[in-house]
Copies of this chain bind each other. A is one copy, B any other.
Amino acid sequence: MMSSPVYATLAFKATRIELQGSVAVVTLVRPKERNTFNNDMITELVHVFGLFDKDDRVRVVILTAEPNAPAYCAGADISGGWGSLWDEESEKEGEHAHRDSGGVVAMAIFRCRKITIAAVNGHAAGVGVTALQLPFDFRFVWSGAKFALPFVRRGIAPEAVSSYLLPKLLGNSRALALFLSGATLSADSPLLQGFYHTLLPTREEVFPAAYTFAQELAQNTSQTAIAITKALIWHGADNIEEQHLLDSRAIRTLGAANDAAEGARAFKEKRPIKFTDTLSKNMPTWIPWWREIDTKHRKAKL
């Protein structure tokens, strides 16, 4: 097990990281730039979501912005033009060597085995939706927040593995409508039904609601059960029989562990629960059962 990171001492520029009990909070702190997605933000998010994944103290992660910022995230920082997004090293090899930075961030969040919550307390566009909302387990939102996926109106394709995540989250009917219209919608649009877990009437209420929800889950859910549940959903088998073999093994393994015993006892005794199993010590060795492909380019920064 790694030594525990001290998040407060991280010398970050685009984000502020706090650990409050078992709940980690990442706040975007580029309000003057409308929290646009820049290199600092990319590097910092990839780094801390990797830490949260491995840090046994962390049970829930919230990403949010300061509620008085003009946006949750207004998209990519293209003040330097599209070319500023290409990496010098991979460019030498050719276009196939490019790795989209939105996707690198989205995959870091997607791979984090803890509960993740996006507390969307402002407008979001482009990568502010794709990388900073889609890969999360829960989305809380201000009902007046704007949601925009304007890629086809800028001449580019949807990025940040959003063409993978959005169809799986909501189905292709809504995904096609959202991507191909390039529309700007309000968070309470019927097209987004099922996307947001909780809508709040003001932006100020978003983070407190997400935080209360996060604390309750941090106290009452098992770290190993959460990680295995996320894996069964995202890395499930192609047919029902193989999924039966997977979940049978998951239940048999977890059922013999401390958390399941505590779960049964606390339920019987009607007392608060105290889960103790951790990912570093108690994950079965047969997990992961899926193949995780290394997409890092040998010469690129990302």
Interface residues, chain A, CB within 8 Å of chain B? Answer: 78, 81-83, 85-86, 95-96, 98-100, 103-104, 107, 110, 115, 137-138, 151-165, 167-177, 179-182, 190-191, 193-195, 197, 217, 220-222, 224-226, 228-230, 232-234, 236-237, 239-245, 247-264, 267, 273, 275, 277, 286, 290-295
Contact = CB atoms under 8 A, between A and B. Distances in A.
A179 to B, nearest CB: 5
How many copies of this chain does the complex contain?
3
A12 B179 CA distance: 34
Given A98-B249, A229-B163, A249-B95, A154 B244 contact: no
B138 A252 contact: no
- Which applies to chain A's interface (DSSP): helix, strand, loop or mixed? helix
A260 B155 contact: yes
Contacts of A262: 155
A275 B151 CA distance: 13
B180 A138 contact: yes
A164 B243 contact: yes
